[in-house]
Structure 1
Amino acid sequence: MEDLRKQHRQELKDLQSQITQKKKSATKKTRKGVNDECAELERRLKTKQQSELSGLSGNGITPEENSEGAFDDMTEPPQEMATEINGPINALPVSDEPPNPGTGKKPNRQKARLARRAAEQEAAAAQAAEEAEDLPNLRSRERDTMREHYTSRGLKEQDIRPDGHCLYAAIADQLLDANIGLQPRINIRGLDTDGLVTKTDYAATRQVAASYISANPDDFAPFLEEPLGDYVRTIRETGEWGGHLELMALAKAYDVNINVLHGNGQVDTIESASQDDAKSLWLAYYRHSFGLGEHYNSLRKSEQHS
């Protein structure tokens, strides 16, 4: 009996390996057929092993009658078989409940779905926890590499408050540091330039970006997922973060090149309208170092490169 049970455990392990390989190679079109095939393989193995146990014991019990407890001392499936490409798989169906008499052995599909869903949720929680543990390392690495790039380019960092206005505040700091000022260098239809004098730095650049986009709808509307008027109103009246489109508008309005330095050393350049002796502004773009998420700081020339 012990030799037979040992053989059964090995057969179970081999079948688990076979099923995993089948499911990994399945496509969306073939997945249902593969799952049905795997279920049939499991049923056949279970029936075969139950018959062998009944025959060896010589008690004349049929496989169906002996199904409860026949596999109780089987080893648990190996850990490496617990997951596959499309999510966790169940162990071979050794049911916790005896089969319903007269109806044959039917897998409890609802119970299997619940178990699979619980395993997926547990895996997602574990992944989130792992990423959270690694976050301090991402921040540290990003900070260190940024400092290296500042030094190599002769720049120093000017901290900007990490809020929804950071892009606009960083541009304003660069404009003032370069003696350009907050008045746009081109005429923008609908912009009250006199009113910019009374606004805070980031509020002024917000107004310029919003007015430029509004005055040049063909350059921006194709990239928006909402009406242009709503988008412009958000820039002008809220603390919504700015991005590439706003940098494009500011580069054209102030006729400057805007260089955005990333933690990996990549520099994205948004070019000015004329390119004739255009001054260059520098921003630092962070992905991991600030609690609110993405952030822009201003990068000025260091004293030795001034």
Structure 2
Amino acid sequence: MEEGVVETPEELLAKQHRKEKKDLQAKIQSMKNAVPKNDKKRRKQLTEEIAKLEADLNQKHEEEFRKLKDDTDVKACSQGEEVIYGIETLKVDGEDLEEVKQPRVTKAQKRRDKKAAQERERESRIAEAEVQNLQGVRHQEGLKLAQKLAQQQLQIKEISSDGHCMYRAIEDQLAQRSKPGITMSVKELRSCTADHMRNHSDDFLPFLTNPTTGDMYTTDEFEKYCSDVEHTAAWGGQLELKALTQVLHLPIEVIQADSPTIKIGEEYDGDHITLVYMRHAYGLGEHYNSVERLKDPCNLEDS
């Protein structure tokens, strides 16, 4: 703000709202980071909590803007500030009577309303930008992953985010192998994963719980889970990766930005499949990417 320029009540309120939205985004990000991916019950609750927090804040801001506008209008009327009344003359029993119409909005009030509307629109654009940026966590995660991968002369190979990303990344890894080997489509990978889990339910059922009751899945619930793995775009996780190592007889490693690399199926020989797990790629939706050889290798400085 320039020196000597006095902020209007609308500008002061907009500044307060910006700070409150920024504080809420920081709180939401902290809440997300605190909930493990495999805790489906808590993640469902978290989604509902976040939606309520955002709705409550939006409602609060709308009410504060409305109250400020009402207070400004009342003050203007009480002080007689530029409020002009239309006069209409009526004749009753031959006498002229003046009827006072409802007040019409002055040019000055219109300017104030226009300025307030522009400020609200500006606030909306700022809020959208803050949500998209998510305080830069996606960018920071990408930098950390790029550094880890570069040490192995690798880089991220982007996989589309459509619910099949883990299977698409594995499909890509199999296709990249220089020696003839296993090639499987996403549909085949999903089908094999579901069949293996059905045939080895004792290895997988104990790790699945009903998100509402917290109880271990029933036989019917487990079958529904396996059916979703096979026929829908249900996300894949560590249980599905465990099943796939046993189907493919290959080890799988999952590289993460802020956690040690997860290694599954180390009892199998052969070149491991490498995936990249991104926690902040798409908001609440975690994402898997594949990797490929680094196209422009460079030597990293010792840290």
Instruction: Report the TM-score when normalising by structure 2.
Output: 0.49
Structure with larger Rg = 1
Instruction: Report the TM-score when normalising by structure 1.
Output: 0.48
